[in-house]
Structure 1
Amino acid sequence: MRFLMTLNAPVRPPDQELYAEMGRFVEELSRAGVLIATGGLALDGTHVSSKAGKVTVVDGPYPETKETIISFALVDVADKAAAVELGRRFFAIQGDGEGDLRQVYGPE
């Protein structure tokens, strides 16, 4: 099962210790064959919405930065429980913050 794990704008600013710890975690997931992709996202972006046939495009950055997704990991694990455990481990390294785990459907 594939899951997209996201991190919203964190409370903890990144430092060398965080980069090192997260690097070890990413390396572990890579060696285990669980990690499909990971990356950071720019704070600015473009939001596209549609209502009653009208498409609206708004360029970021956005006022609610705490809701802005700043990084992601796509993992392939046995089940949702395994994805939740990876999320727990991630936040044990990251510290305060929030994100989501969403199952990814479609061709592999």
Structure 2
Amino acid sequence: MRFMIIVKATTDTEAGVLPGEPLFAAMAAYHQELARAGVLLDANGLRPSSDGWRIGYREGRRSVVDGPFAETKELIAGYTLIQVRSREEAMEWARRFPAPHGEMADAEIEVRQLYEPHDLP
């Protein structure tokens, strides 16, 4: 079972402000622990939405909209992709995820299971 741990963006991440050394160290230690356990598939931070774009689909046509995007709470700042044996194991790892914007900052992560080939018709 694969799960994505999604770090929500903030105004700081959207401004390109990188976390301080303590948070970088905590994230590195967490990801090293995932790797040692053999469950880490990928992990990365995302550049601000000002460096990205969206493709809109409407009535059979595509349109490109350049970032930045206004609703920070709907944006992703980074992710960790893990492969585990159960939902419970994924939840256990997610509970140990370092506070993504520092211990004293309000934050939220979201965990979503990926579809596997056998889930699809």
TM-score (norm 2): 0.76
Q: Distance in 2 between matches of 1:38 and 1:25?
A: 11
Aligned pairs, number? 106
**Which range moved further: 23-32 or 95-104?**
95-104
Structure 2 residue 69 is the aligned partner of structure 1 residue 62: yes
| Residues 11 and 72, structure 2, Cα contact 8 Å, conserved in 1 | no
Q: CA deviation at 1:100?
A: 2.0
Match of 2:26 in 1: 21
Q: Which has the higher strand share?
A: 1
What's the CA shift string for 1:24-53, capped at 9, x where partnerless?
111100111010110111112111121222
Is 2:93 the partner of 1:83? no
Give unmatched runs, 5+ long, in structure 1: none
Superposed CA RMSD: 2.0
Distance 1:99 1:93 in 2: 9
* Paired residue type of 2:88: A
1:17 Cα offset (Å): 1.0
**Mapped partners of 1:10, 1:88: distance in 2:** 20
2-side partners of 1:106 and 1:81: how far apart?
A: 17
Q: Which portions of structure 1, spanning 4 or more consecutive aligned residues, are displaced by more than 3 angstroms?
A: 10-13
Identity among equivalent pairs (%): 40
